[in-house]
Amino acid sequence: MNFDVLIIGAGLAGLATALRFPENIKIALIAKQTLDISASHWAQGGVAGVIDNNDRFELHEQDTISAGAGLCNEQVVRHVIKNSKDSIQWLIDQGVEFTKSNDNQSLHLTKEGGHSLHRIAHVKDFTGKAIQEALIKEIKIKKNITIFENHSAVDLILLRKIDPKSKENACLGAYILDKNNDSIKTLSAKYTVLATGGTSKAYLYTTNPPVSTGDGVAMAWRAGCKISNMEFIQFHPTCLFHPMERSFLISETIRGEGGILKLPNGEPFMHKYHPSGDLAPRDIVARAIDNEMKQRGLENVFLDISMLDENFIQKRFPSIYQHCKNLKIDITKEPIPVVPAAHYSCGGVKTDLNAETSLHNLYAIGETACTGLHGANRLASNSLLECLVFSKSAVEHIYSKIPEQSDHSPLPDWDESRVTNPDEAVMILQTWNELRRFMWNYVGIVRTNQRLNRAYERIEILKKEVQHFYKNFHITSDLIELRNLLQVSELIVLSALARKESRGLHFSKDYPEKNDEAIDTMLQLDNEIN
């Protein structure tokens, strides 16, 4: 169980990182479930990039910075966007067949909220699925990559825990729960990459799969890493509202192709909130829907695309069309009921241009990381691009150092000698349900200090209960996820309390104005906030 590189997470960030390494590098790839279950797999929209001759790097940069509400790191923005065309070409080289234009020569580029031009490469309306399937096919033939499906990371292994006298701390690998036989494996690695995705399962309603439980952020926090901007949780404006379906995303590209948000009486409303109307940035659209629902006592609003040609709708949005049809909703003839839902975490583990964290030998890529690209609000379809660019940066940086890295002494095995089997598993389910409900009600789209403090007090009580459970009983995957969700929920609340303004995705009724100076929120292990 000794590897050159340990990659925790098998979405686009994890797969792209694993594939980019030369075959002389021994890699362990950890998938919480199977390789085809990740938030990346569910992504519908596409990959943003400067491809068209009418587009320019500066325009994409301006759109990204404008959406980010003053908090984007402009150096990072330039780095990502200048590598966008090469990143999309890399996907094509891996076998991804993007949708072509009518001439069948160039890529068909679509437009989403916040973008000034059509610049998003896509595979119909199931881009993430197409990308993941192509990369998984490549991963499975690589002899240097050992795949661990149905495995969950428990915690990182730290040099200072093994050798308290060590002057510097470093990540030496991780303890991994094998869910196939409920055993703990000790994986040693010269370098570890966190690619575990986001934190959206902390909320009652989300567009993400069940694996999005903030594991990487929680483990990095416990290891002493810097965590930045966790208050910026992006709520996707349009999640399907249906009693049989709570997590199906209705892609922003529907609005990009002309879809209109409407009230139950058919009245459009987005023109009241932003000059771009239905193509306003996501934070504005989500708050507008939330406001209309609360003012009018609505359970949902509607997204109407029925004015477009029926054949175009079926060809452009085949998976959305079929999914809604299975639920007796014909989107070619009637509007789609939608509500906002937790979708993306703009904050995360603080990293640099090499995707390196503040802990030696530990990297973070994708939604787990806070690179500075998204600022206070992610521009649509920049997330898949970010995974691709930083996977390349991380691989180049790690590979340049691997020959210099000496092997560590054997790591201690996981100690379960003083724990017993749990007697009240129902506690985990009850705590999970309570957490997700009060996070939705108190730490949602619109916040107040009173709600945030109430959430914090409850989180602290639940954390103590779960920590007692963790120390005294055999761990399970449910317990690992609950422990991590409570930790990231605390970080979200602490960050939100620290921001005395409204900016981007964080809107506070107590501080409705935006400050003149844009400052990142930075959390450290002792809960000091800088």
Of 411, 510, 422, 429, nearest to 468 by C-alpha is: 422
- Provide, for the chain, the percentages of residues in helix, strand and coil under a 3-state DSSP scheme, each rounded to the nearest 5: 40, 20, 40
- Helix locations, 368-507, DSSP H: 382-401, 426-442, 449-472, 477-498
CB contact burial 445-471 (16+ within 10 A = b; e otherwise):
bbbeeebbebbbebbeebbeebeebee
Structure tokens at 287: 């708050």
Strand partners, 362: 192
- Helix locations, 68-171, DSSP H: 74-82, 84-93, 127-139, 159-162
Give yes or no: 56 in active site.
Answer: no
Collapse the DSSP code of 265 into the 3-class scheme (helix H, G, I; strand E, B; otherwise coil) and give the result.
Answer: coil
**Which residue among 20, 119, 255, 282 is the active-site one?**
282
Helices 12-20, 382-401: axis angle to 10 degrees equals 40
Distance of CA 112 to the CA centre of its chain: 18
Nearby residues of 507 by Cβ (< 8 Å), 6 or more positions away: 283, 287, 445, 446, 447
Strand partners, 260: 304
Give the Cα separation of 410 and 398 in Å (integer). Answer: 22
Contacts 24+ apart (CB under 8 A), 457-461: 458/434, 459/435, 459/486, 459/489, 459/490, 459/493, 460/490
Determine which helix (DSSP H) or strand (DSSP E) holds 24, and give its type and residue range. Answer: none
Of 494, 484, 495, nearest to 462 by C-alpha is: 484
Nearby residues of 520 by Cβ (< 8 Å), 6 or more positions away: 71, 228, 229, 372
Nearby residues of 232 by Cβ (< 8 Å), 6 or more positions away: 345, 346, 347, 374, 375, 376, 377, 504, 505, 506
- Which residue has tokens 């009600």? 441
Enumerate the active-site residues.
Answer: 282
